[in-house]
Amino acid sequence: MSTHALDLTRQEWEEGDRLLEAETPDRRRYEQLLAQVEVVTAELRRRVGGTYTLAQLVAAYGSADTWARQAVADRAPGPGWPRDLSLVLAAAFHAYQRGASDYAS
């Protein structure tokens, strides 16, 4: 994986996290989004494990839409949740990247 591709993906994750934090004034919506992020993070942990690299995380991100959609639908759906899935995915991956063996902010 190229450094450029990794940087672009990490920027996408950072934007998702920024958008999530922008929802804090609407406490109910923010808590709903956090619950969805937690579901995606738990599923990510199950799929990627506890030891991984950023490249492995980026690879998981490429197919995450399918499994994350199912996980959120099963465990944390809320009003209009499908439209928030990309934000939820990006925020979850943004947080999870910190555990990568090659993570550097």
Q: Where are the domains of the chain?
A: 3-99
**Distance spanning both ends of the chain, measured CA to CA:** 18
Q: Do 54 and 97 contact (CB within 8 A), yes or no?
A: yes
Instruction: Return the structure tokens found at 103.
Output: 């993570």
The string of pLDDT tens digits covering residues 68-93 is 999 999 999 888 899 999 999 999 99
* Cβ neighbours for 15, distance < 8 A, ≥ 6 positions apart: 90
**pLDDT tens digits for range 25-59:** 999 999 999 999 999 999 999 999 999 999 999 99
pTM of the full structure: 0.93
Assign residue 80 a region (left: φ > 0; alpha: ψ between -120 and 50; beta: otherwise): left
CA-based R_g, the chain, Å? 13
What is the dihedral sign for C-alpha 89, 95, 101, 104? positive
Mean of the pLDDT values across residues 60-65? 95
